[in-house]
């Protein structure tokens, strides 16, 4: 991945208030692959004490969206699917990993997994993006 693209993505991540409010921290960004985590916090939980499904969906959408942008184009979500296998509680954090399944000229598809701090798979999913003509480095 080009240095300019990495810098643009890092600027996007640190400059986005929603990402910062989630406490999202990226540990890996490389071409077609990204990984990030959020801490378990009570203000992100549903009434049952597990991280809210919408928070987990946001995590997966953001991480896979960043991975889709690593090829140099802006990307916007066109479809997302999550399988909620286990609740996200009794963990210090959850970690999402997104990997490219297909990176076409206009459409990209990414597979995601969300794991707890014991590396147990909690959610799986798939996200599709439309790749815009506008490049990140323009």
Domain ranges of the chain: 3-135
User: From the first residue on, what is the mean pLDDT of each consecutive set of 10 residues in the chain (138 residues)?
Assistant: 92 96 97 98 96 98 98 97 97 98 97 98 98 92
Cβ–Cβ under 8 Å, residues 91 and 40: yes
Q: What is the pLDDT of residue 100?
A: 98
pTM: 0.96
Buried b (16+ CB within 10 A) or exposed e, 53-79: eebbbbbbbbbbbbbbbbbbbbbeeee
Look up residue 22 and give its two tokens. Answer: 């989630």
Q: What is the pLDDT of residue 138?
A: 77
54/62 Cα distance (integer angstroms) = 12
Q: Which residue has the tokens 């540990």?
A: 27
- Give the pLDDT of residue 95: 98
Cα distance between the two ends of the chain: 16
Place of tokens 């600027």: 11
Half-sphere exposure for 106 (CA within 13 Å, toward CB): 0
Cβ 51 vs Cβ 45: under 8 Å: yes
CATH superfamily of 3-135: Hotdog Thioesterase (3.10.129.10)
Q: What is the pLDDT of residue 85?
A: 98
Candidates 88, 77, 84, 95; CA nearest to 35 is 95
């Amino acid at each position: 991945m080009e240095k300019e693209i990495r810098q643009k993505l890092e600027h996007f991540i640190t400059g986005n208030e929603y990402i910062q409010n989630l406490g999202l921290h990226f540990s890996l960004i490389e071409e077609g692959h990204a990984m990030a985590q959020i801490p378990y916090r009570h203000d992100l939980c549903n009434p049952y004490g597990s991280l809210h499904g919408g928070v987990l969906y946001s995590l997966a959408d953001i991480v896979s969206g960043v991975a889709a942008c690593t090829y140099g184009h802006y990307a916007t979500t066109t479809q997302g699917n999550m399988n909620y296998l286990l609740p996200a509680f009794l963990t210090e954090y959850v970690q999402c990993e997104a990997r490219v399944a297909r990176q076409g000229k206009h459409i990209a598809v990414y597979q995601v997994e969300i794991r707890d701090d014991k590396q147990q798979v909690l959610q799986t999913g798939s996200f599709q993006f439309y790749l815009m003509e506008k490049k990140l480095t323009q």
